[in-house]
Structure 1
Amino acid sequence: MSPVHFLLVDDLEDNLVALEALLRRDDLVLLKARSGEEALELLLVHDVALGLLDVQMPGMDGFELAELMRGNERTRNVPIIFLTASNTDNHRKFRGYEAGAVDFIQKPVEWDILRSKTKVFFDLHRQKQQIAAQRDELEAYAETLTRSDRYKDQFLAILAHELRNPLTPLRMGLDVLRGQPTPERTTQIHGVMDRQLVHLVRLVDDLLDVSRVSQGKVVLKREKVEIADIVQAALEASQPFVEGGNHTLRVTVAPHALWVSGDKTRLTQVVGNLLNNAAKYTPSGGTLTLNAYRDEQDVVIAVSDNGMGIPLSMQSNIFELFTQVGEHLTRSQGGLGIGLALVKQLVSMHEGSIAVSSDGENLGSTFTVRLPLLVAHDDEVSSRTAGAVAPNGQALRILVIDDNADIAETIGWLLSDMGHMHRLVLDGRTALDAARDFEPDVVLLDIGMPTIDGYAVCRAFREDPGLRFLPIIAQTGWGQEADKAATARAGFDYHLVKPVGYGELQQALAFVTQLERAQVG
Structure 2
Amino acid sequence: MTPTEPIKFLLVDDLEANLQALVALLRRDGLELLTARSGSEALELLLAHDISLAFLDVQMPVMDGFELAEVMRSTERTRQIPIIFLTAGIVDSQRRIRGYETGAVDFLAKPIEAHVLLNKAATFFDLACQRRELALTNAKLEQADRLKDEFLAMLAHELRNPLAPLRNAAEILQSDYAETEERGQALNILSRQIENMTRMIDDLLDVSRITEGKIELRKESVNLASVVQAASSLIRSECASRGQELAIKLPESPVYLHADSTRLEQVFGNLLMNASKYGGEGCHITVNAERAGPDVIISVTDDGTGIEPELLPRIFDLFVQASRTLDRRHGGLGIGLTLVQRIVRLHGGTIEARSKGLGQGSQFIVRLPAMTAPPAGASPARGKPAFQTATAPRRLLIVDDNTDSARSLAILQTRLGHETRTAYSGTEALEVAAEFKPEVVMLDIGLPGMDGFEVARKLRSMPDLSGVFLIAMTGYGSVDSREEGRKAGFDAFLVKPIDLRELQGLLGSLP
Determine the C-alpha separation between the residues in 2 that align with 1:505 and 1:261: 31
Q: Label 1:158 to 1:484 Cα distance change in 2 as closer, same or farther (>3 A).
A: closer
Q: CA deviation at 1:494?
A: 8.7
Given the alignment of the two structures, is residue 293 of structure 1 paired with residue 275 of structure 2, yes or no? no
- Which residue among 24, 28, 33 is the counterpart of 1:42? 24
- Which residue among 285, 297, 318 is the counterpart of 1:321? 318
Letter matched to residue 253 of structure 1? L
Per the alignment, residue 484 of structure 2 pairs with: 486
Q: Label 1:454 to 1:403 Cα distance change in 2 as closer, same or farther (>3 A).
A: farther
Determine the C-alpha separation between the residues in 1 that align with 2:196 and 2:158: 10
CA contact (8 A) 1:290 1:301 kept: yes
Letter matched to residue 284 of structure 1? E
Q: CA deviation at 1:505?
A: 12
Given the alignment of the two structures, is residue 235 of structure 1 paired with residue 232 of structure 2, yes or no? yes
Deviates more, 1:122-131 or 1:296-305: 122-131
Letter matched to residue 133 of structure 1? C
Q: How does 1:251-400 map to 2 (within 5 A)?
A: 251-330=248-327, 332-375=329-372, 378-379=375-376, 381=378
Q: CA deviation at 1:181?
A: 2.5
Q: Label 1:43 to 1:253 Cα distance change in 2 as closer, same or farther (>3 A).
A: same
With structure 2 as the length reference, what TM-score do the two structures score? Answer: 0.61
Q: CA deviation at 1:349?
A: 2.5
Q: Aligned-residue CA RMSD in angstroms?
A: 5.7
**DSSP-derived class of the 1:308 partner:** coil
Deviations 1:238-295 (A, max 9, x none): 3443343242222233343323333332222111111111111122333222223322
Q: Label 1:173 to 1:483 Cα distance change in 2 as closer, same or farther (>3 A).
A: closer
Per the alignment, residue 154 of structure 2 pairs with: 158
Determine the C-alpha separation between the residues in 2 that align with 1:277 and 1:93: 75
- Which residue among 215, 219, 234 is the counterpart of 1:219? 215
Q: Label 1:336 to 1:503 Cα distance change in 2 as closer, same or farther (>3 A).
A: closer
Determine the C-alpha separation between the residues in 2 that align with 1:461 and 1:228: 46
Per the alignment, residue 142 of structure 1 pairs with: 138
Deviations 1:208-231 (A, max 9, x none): 3334333x1541223114123322
CA contact (8 A) 1:217 1:480 kept: no
Q: How does 1:420-499 map to 2 (within 5 A)?
A: 448=444, 477=474, 479-487=477-485, 489=487
**DSSP-derived class of the 1:294 partner:** strand
**DSSP-derived class of the 2:257 partner:** strand
Per the alignment, residue 132 of structure 1 pairs with: 128
Q: Label 1:445 to 1:125 Cα distance change in 2 as closer, same or farther (>3 A).
A: farther
Determine the C-alpha separation between the residues in 1 that align with 2:451 and 2:323: 53
CA contact (8 A) 2:25 2:118 kept: no
Determine the C-alpha separation between the residues in 2 that align with 1:344 and 1:282: 20
Given the alignment of the two structures, is residue 184 of structure 1 paired with residue 166 of structure 2, yes or no? no
CA contact (8 A) 1:473 1:496 kept: no
Deviates more, 1:345-354 or 1:326-335: 326-335
Per the alignment, residue 24 of structure 1 pairs with: none
**DSSP-derived class of the 1:229 partner:** helix
Deviations 1:23-58 (A, max 9, x none): xxxxxxxxxxx9646415537966699xxxxxxxxx
Q: CA deviation at 1:173?
A: 3.7
Determine the C-alpha separation between the residues in 2 that align with 1:267 and 1:387: 14
CA contact (8 A) 1:474 1:487 kept: no
Per the alignment, residue 199 of structure 2 pairs with: 202
**DSSP-derived class of the 1:312 partner:** coil
Determine the C-alpha separation between the residues in 2 that align with 1:125 and 1:343: 49
**DSSP-derived class of the 1:186 partner:** helix
Deviations 1:293-333 (A, max 9, x none): 32222222221222211233322222223333245434532
Letter matched to residue 480 of structure 1? S
Letter matched to residue 370 of structure 1? R
Letter matched to residue 483 of structure 2? A
Q: CA deviation at 1:373?
A: 1.8
Q: CA deviation at 1:147?
A: 1.4
Letter matched to residue 358 of structure 2? E
Letter matched to residue 340 of structure 1? L
Letter matched to residue 155 of structure 1? F
Determine the C-alpha separation between the residues in 1 that align with 2:259 and 2:461: 33
CA contact (8 A) 1:266 1:346 kept: yes
Determine the C-alpha separation between the residues in 2 that align with 1:206 and 1:301: 23
Q: Label 1:328 to 1:314 Cα distance change in 2 as closer, same or farther (>3 A).
A: same
Determine the C-alpha separation between the residues in 1 that align with 2:501 and 2:225: 18
